[in-house]
Structure 1
């Protein structure tokens, strides 16, 4: 006989194991909060913008080939900014205790869509060092690009500035705690259904029907406690007589 589970049974299981599910949720939120506030190092972000000018006189209209050439040029600049030719000089000027490969992991270079602006974003545990790395990278790139590509069309548009009260971008404790709550909820529900599946005790006539594969012919109604007490009183009086 195939075992079927109704929606009502699912809700009964969830209600029965509600304390377990809530405990898992609270545990997930607590672990995420402890990891976010105590174990993870705060990371700050600082950005500077570089403007790539046209190397030729601006025209009223640009051909698709010229537009493609400009995009390829900016993409080339994005690669050069994170190359050892630039980062070695940045490390030397700031006396950073890291290799160009390690510094690359702190730097993100991206160009604004359909524009000549390149964003250099740096993440670091120290907000002031993040700004220094971003500004120095832009300055070194501006100085070295004429030597590397024989062009002089790069200017710093907006330097990185550290605010009065910088806020870390990572970690995000509220988001991590929300994720912890969802994970705890999923684990709690999973454990609840697993315990219900492993529980082979007989709880009612439906279980007897499913296990023995036989119809139920009759049921013994439960005797109220008041009737049991009354019957004991009657028996006690008869014995005294």
Structure 2
């Protein structure tokens, strides 16, 4: 027999375990804030761009086929930029204490669809070094590509520049806290429903009918010893009051 749960029951569980759910939300959000502001190292980005063109005689113009060929070449260039043939000279030029694999992880090469412009983005903990990595990578690529592919069709469009007050691109505290709130709500809600599912104790008459499938014929109330003593004291006080009223109402006959 399949068990179903109504929206009313869900609302009752949430209301019952609201403190638990809020605790998880606030706890996870607090952890996300601590990690974002005090633990995770800020990362800075800087980008440099170059354009790929086929060498054409002055009297001729570019055709659609030439543009398509340039786009295909860009895909090859994207691989070459991240290769040791380019990154090793970059490491030597900047004196970096990195391997080619580590430097490749700091570089992202992208280009818009059907565009001849390639963007090289470098990410580093030091904003100055991010600028140097982006510019040096593009410059060395421009110098080395003629010998690698026997072509000379790369022109630098823009170089990376260091702003006065560089802002880190990661971590994003607001985003991390928002994710923490959502994750905390899901985690707290999941645990709340798990506890409710594991709780098989009978608390009300409805639980008896639901668990055993039989109607409730009667209810025996639980009476504590303090309740009995209180009731006896109340009865005694009532008896004494009645007795005094009887004595006060008796008349003596001479």
TM-score (norm 1): 0.88
Q: Tell me, in whole angstroms, the C-alpha distance in 2 between the residues paired with 1:114 and 1:4.
A: 53
Tell me the residue number matched to 1:201: 201
Tell me the residue number matched to 1:127: 127
Q: Is the Cα–Cα contact under 8 Å of residues 3 and 210 in structure 1 kept in the other structure?
A: no
Task: Give deviations 1:82-103, integer Å, cap 9, x for gaps.
Answer: 1111111111010000111111
Tell me the residue number matched to 1:226: none
Tell me the residue number matched to 1:237: 238
Task: Give deviations 1:20-69, integer Å, cap 9, x for gaps.
Answer: 100000001011111111111110000000111222248557254x3432
Task: Give deviations 1:174-202, integer Å, cap 9, x for gaps.
Answer: 11111111111011111111111222222
User: 3-state DSSP class of the match of 1:156?
Assistant: strand
Q: Tell me, in whole angstroms, the C-alpha distance in 2 between the residues paired with 1:201 and 1:40.
A: 45
Alpha carbons of structure 1 residues 6 and 74: separation in structure 2 relative to 1, 3 Å = closer
Tell me the residue number matched to 1:90: 90
1:212 Cα deviation from its structure 2 partner: 2.8
Counterparts in 2 of 1:55-204, with a 5 A limit?
55-57=55-57, 59=60, 62-64=63-65, 66-204=66-204
User: 3-state DSSP class of the match of 2:28?
Assistant: helix
Counterparts in 2 of 1:31-70, with a 5 A limit?
31-57=31-57, 59=60, 62-64=63-65, 66-70=66-70
User: 3-state DSSP class of the match of 1:78?
Assistant: helix
Alpha carbons of structure 1 residues 185 and 157: separation in structure 2 relative to 1, 3 Å = same
Moved more, 156-165 or 212-221: 212-221
**What stretches of structure 2 of length at least 5 have no aligned partner?**
223-229, 244-254
Alpha carbons of structure 1 residues 76 and 4: separation in structure 2 relative to 1, 3 Å = closer
Tell me the residue number matched to 2:227: none
1:214 Cα deviation from its structure 2 partner: 1.3
Q: Tell me, in whole angstroms, the C-alpha distance in 1 between the residues paired with 2:133 and 2:37.
A: 26
Q: Tell me, in whole angstroms, the C-alpha distance in 2 between the residues paired with 1:61 and 1:55.
A: 10
Q: Tell me, in whole angstroms, the C-alpha distance in 1 between the residues paired with 2:106 and 2:95.
A: 16
1:145 Cα deviation from its structure 2 partner: 1.4
TM-score (norm 2): 0.84
Q: Tell me, in whole angstroms, the C-alpha distance in 2 between the residues paired with 1:12 and 1:219.
A: 24
**What stretches of structure 1 of length at least 5 have no aligned partner?**
223-228
1:171 Cα deviation from its structure 2 partner: 0.8
Moved more, 205-214 or 20-29: 205-214
**Backbone CA RMSD of aligned residues:** 2.5
1:207 Cα deviation from its structure 2 partner: 0.7
Moved more, 151-160 or 129-138: 151-160
Q: Is the Cα–Cα contact under 8 Å of residues 45 and 123 in structure 2 kept in the other structure?
A: yes
